């Protein structure tokens, strides 16, 4: 490994001069700086990040807490896409990311302890149980943090506009002639509450009756559970004509259940997803869904977290950032004629 001494020896100057030149100190001439940098590049010199961190108190490292509560890890299309957008944005600013677990080197560490052990400058909480005491410890600490898909007055957050997304779905389905509308919602969470409340409010505003047998709790990203619930719903004496699903993966399970019963999509039963995963636009018929702008979610989360790390003043509007969703009119909602 090339050291500062190697560069000093090649340039015929002291190690102190090399160090100052590389750190752009004003008492070193431009000519010397250029010479030192050219030799450093030629020799393949990389500054020691640990030594640099000791001097500057900066590691240029951001932690990402991703709890595998959904059971499919980074294969989850929504969260993996958000993290990719976040990663690209922070790398443009010279930061690296590391994943933070609750254990490290077989010694039990809380998320917060792991963050401190790794000397991260900030942390993104991308997928977690926000009622977990360990997550609360991180969010209450002096460590700059931003959360995805969670909203409270205290936390800095970036989230899709789930209210608008749900309204767009229902208004479209209503426009297509559906009045018997079912909804399978996801695990208990703030996002689920927002979507369910908006579903109820919008149905009432549209004058569509709420049928309790049409509203069931499922689980996010569990096609098998959705398949079971859709089978139950379709066995009713008067089944719904359209079923809203918690996400696209769940919608695939619902479609499978309908096909097992010999039903055609959308001629006999309509489905709507939520996420806008690429898979839904590849299958036939193409899934009608709400697309969440994952790249923008990741980028805005990065911008917000970097602002916090720098100690910048953040407006209330930016503190709770909502990202617009887009209704994708696929081929899984039939137009009903009265």
What CATH number is attached to the domain comprising 29? Answer: 1.10.260.40
**CA nearest neighbour of 97 among 306, 312, 321, 333:** 306
Q: Is residue 198 part of a domain?
A: yes
Confidence bin at 282 (pLDDT 50/70/90) = confident
Q: Check whether residue 170 and residue 275 sit in a common domain.
A: yes
Q: What's the pLDDT at 240?
A: 98
Query: Which of the two residues, 304 and 109, has the higher pLDDT score?
Result: 304
Could you give the dihedral angle defined by the CA atoms of residues 187, 192, 193 and 197, in that order, rounded to the nearest 10 degrees?
A: -130
Q: Check whether residue 231 and residue 305 sit in a common domain.
A: no
Number of domains into which the chain is organized: 3
| Average pLDDT value for residue range 184-196 | 92
Q: Check whether residue 74 and residue 136 sit in a common domain.
A: yes
Q: What is the pLDDT of residues 132-155, one digit of tens each?
A: 888 889 999 999 999 998 777 778
Q: Is residue 149 part of a domain?
A: yes
Judge contact between 291 and 249, C-beta under 8 A. Answer: no
Q: Check whether residue 17 and residue 75 sit in a common domain.
A: no
Instruction: Give the integer Cα–Cα distance in Å for 237 and 232.
Output: 11
Query: Domain range for residue 317?
Result: 61-160+296-324
Q: Check whether residue 77 and residue 135 sit in a common domain.
A: yes
| Average pLDDT value for residue range 12-21 | 88
Q: Check whether residue 198 and residue 288 sit in a common domain.
A: yes
Confidence bin at 286 (pLDDT 50/70/90) = very high
pLDDT cut 70: percent of the chain above it: 91
Q: Check whether residue 108 and residue 137 sit in a common domain.
A: yes
Whose tokens are 């490292």? That residue is 61
Q: Is residue 130 part of a domain?
A: yes
Which CATH number fits the domain that encloses residue 300? Answer: 3.40.50.2300
Q: Check whether residue 80 and residue 146 sit in a common domain.
A: yes
Tell me what the pLDDT averaged over the chain comes to. 89
pLDDT cut 90: percent of the chain above it: 60
Q: Is residue 334 part of a domain?
A: no
Q: Is residue 337 part of a domain?
A: no
Give the tokens for residue 80: 């993996």
**CA nearest neighbour of 285 among 300, 303, 264, 305:** 264
What does R_g of the chain's alpha carbons equal in angstroms? 26
Q: What's the pLDDT at 71?
A: 55
Is the pLDDT reported for residue 130 higher than 80?
no
Confidence bin at 44 (pLDDT 50/70/90) = confident
Q: What's the pLDDT at 299?
A: 96
Is the pLDDT reported for residue 22 higher than 90?
no
Q: Is residue 210 part of a domain?
A: yes
Judge contact between 229 and 218, C-beta under 8 A. Answer: yes
| Average pLDDT value for residue range 17-25 | 84
Most confident of the ranges 7-16, 176-185, 272-281: 176-185
């Amino acid at each position: 490994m090339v050291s500062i001494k190697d560069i000093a020896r090649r340039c015929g100057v002291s190690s102190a001069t090399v160090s100052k030149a590389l750190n752009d100190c004003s008492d070193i001439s431009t000519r010397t700086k250029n010479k030192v940098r050219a030799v450093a590049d030629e020799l393949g010199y990389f500054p020691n990040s640990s030594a640099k961190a000791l001097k500057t108190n900066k590691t240029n490292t951001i932690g990402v807490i991703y709890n595998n509560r959904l059971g499919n890890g980074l294969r989850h299309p929504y969260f993996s896409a958000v993290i990719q957008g976040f990663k690209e944005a922070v790398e443009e600013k010279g930061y690296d990311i590391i994943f933070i677990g609750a254990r490290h080197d077989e010694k039990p560490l809380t998320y917060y302890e792991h963050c401190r052990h790794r000397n991260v400058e900030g942390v993104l909480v991308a997928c977690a149980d926000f009622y977990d005491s360990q997550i609360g410890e991180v969010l209450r600490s002096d460590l700059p943090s931003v959360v995805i898909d969670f909203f409270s007055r205290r936390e800095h957050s970036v989230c899709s506009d789930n209210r608008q997304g749900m309204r767009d779905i229902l208004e479209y389905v209503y426009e297509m002639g559906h009045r018997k509308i079912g909804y399978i919602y996801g695990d208990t969470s703030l996002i689920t509450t927002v979507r369910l409340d908006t579903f109820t409010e919008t149905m009432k505003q549209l004058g569509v009756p709420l049928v309790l047998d049409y509203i069931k709790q499922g689980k996010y990203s569990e096609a098998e559970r959705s398949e079971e619930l859709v089978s139950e719903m379709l066995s009713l004496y008067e089944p719904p004509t359209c079923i809203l699903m918690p996400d696209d993966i769940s919608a695939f399970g619902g479609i499978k259940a309908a096909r097992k019963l010999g039903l055609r999509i959308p001629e006999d039963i309509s489905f709507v997803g939520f996420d806008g995963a690429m898979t839904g636009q590849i299958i036939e018929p193409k899934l009608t869904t709400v697309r969440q702008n994952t790249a923008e979610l990741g980028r805005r989360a990065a911008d917000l977290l970097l602002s916090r790390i720098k100690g910048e003043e953040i407006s209330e509007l930016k503190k709770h950032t909502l990202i617009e969703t887009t209704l994708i009119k696929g081929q899984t909602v039939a137009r009903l004629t009265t």
